[in-house]
Amino acid sequence: MNCILLPETSFQHDTAHIYDLAQIAHVNKVLSAKVGDSLKIGQLDGKLGSAIIEDIAPDRIQLGDIQLTINPPPKLNLTVVLALPRPKVLRRLIMDMTALGVNDIILINSYRTQKSYWQSPMLGRLDEFVLEGLQQGVDTIAPRISLQKRFKPFVEDELASLITNRAIVAHPYSALSFSQYVQQLGSNEPPHRSVGSLLPSMVFIGAEGGWIDYEIDLLATQGCAAVNIGPRILRTEAAVNVILGQWLL
């Protein structure tokens, strides 16, 4: 973790306390921090800054000289709609999307999503994974996460109201590449428009196995353009990072 994030309740006047055992272990074993050392900290939903370690006990760390003056980095103007993946990769994907600054995450059912995934205890640990991602990305504002267990009603009844700019769906068998898609948009815009302003506000990414033709066609009826990101078939984790890298750049 690249910063220690604490809830508002951990702060009292000019002091704060770390009670989370994983965070305490990180301070002791990874950072090898001692009393008097400075820590990079942040308040959840608040600002980033620093604090000085005043006392270390097995079950808590007391901090003083709290300085929270730095605004968190801006979020990406992006909603990621992700077909619910295998539970073992859900943690990594939530962490990565959070660290990259995704503003909204929608976990959705798809034809290739196994029903058992929706009963996974991992879904009850999303806040934990988000916290890990925030501490990795040095951010304090968690993404909004929602669950959509019915694909067709979501696309037909809710999707249009959520698309603030334009939307794409990652599909390795599309004839149109992501770069071609952006170039086509740019050719219809004034020369001064930046590439960032042309990027869509929503992207659909399938789980392993991708989307079926019916899902691609249904998304197309709502204006979602199918694009590929190259000739290689990538794992979901790789595809998420490759695609979101376009917004970071």
Count of domains observed in the chain: 2
Beta strand spans in 58-101 (E): 60-70, 76-83
Q: Same domain for 116 and 140?
A: yes
Q: Are residues 61 and 82 in the same domain?
A: no
Categorise residue 36: left if φ over 0, alpha if ψ from -120 to 50, beta otherwise: left
Angle CA 180–183–188, to nearest 5 = 135
Same domain as 148, residue 178: yes
Tens of pLDDT, residues 80-99? 999 999 999 999 999 999 99
Decide if pLDDT at 194 tops 60.
no
Which helix (H) or strand (E) segment is 153 a member of?
A: helix 151-153
The answer to whether residues 16 and 93 belong to one domain is no
Q: Are residues 116 and 22 in the same domain?
A: no
- pLDDT for res 40: 97
Tokens 């999707």 — which residue?
159
CB atoms within 10 A of CB 129: 20
**Together in a domain, 132 and 81:** yes
Residue 191 scores a pLDDT above 60: no
Count CA atoms closer than 13 A to 2's CA, side-chain side. Answer: 9
C-alpha dihedral (133, 102, 38, 27), degrees to nearest 10: 0
Distance of alpha carbon 57 from alpha carbon 19, whole angstroms: 10
- Whole-model pTM: value is 0.91
Amino acid identity, residue 156?
Answer: E
123 and 65 co-located in one domain: no
**Which of 70, 91, 111 is where one domain is finished?**
70
Verify that 243 and 142 share a domain, yes or no.
Answer: yes
Q: Are residues 115 and 215 in the same domain?
A: yes
Q: What is the pLDDT of residue 151?
A: 97
pLDDT given at position 233: 86
Q: Which residue has the higher pLDDT, 103 or 184?
A: 103
Q: Per the structure block, which two tokens stand in for 205? A: 């990414």
More confident residue, 71 or 208: 71
Q: Residue 170: which domain range?
A: 76-248
Beta-carbon neighbour count of residue 184 at 10 Å? Answer: 12
- Single out the residue in 43, 70, 97 at which a domain terminates: 70
- Arithmetic mean of pLDDT over the chain: 93
Say if residue 143 is in the same domain as residue 228: yes
pLDDT digits 0-9 by tens, 2-50 = 999 999 999 998 899 999 999 999 999 999 999 999 999 999 999 999 9
Q: Exposed, middle or buried by CB within 10 Å (0-12, 13-18, 19+), for 173?
A: exposed
Question: What mean pLDDT do residues 60-79 have?
Answer: 96
DSSP 213-247: HHHHHHHHTTTEEEEBS-SS---HHHHHHHHHHHH
Q: What share of the chain in percent tops pLDDT 70?
A: 96
Has residue 179 got a pLDDT over 60? Answer: yes
pLDDT digit string, tens, across residues 135-178: 999 999 999 999 999 999 999 999 999 998 899 999 999 999 99
pLDDT band at residue 248 under the 50/70/90 scheme: confident
Phi, psi of 107 (to 5 degrees): -95, 125
Q: What is the pLDDT of residues 141-150, one digit of tens each?
A: 999 999 999 9
The dihedral sign for the CA sequence 228, 226, 197, 201: negative
Q: State residue 200's pLDDT score.
A: 92
CATH number for the domain including 223? 3.40.1280.10
Which residues face 106 on adjacent strands? 81, 146
Structure confidence at residue 190 as a pLDDT band (50, 70, 90): low
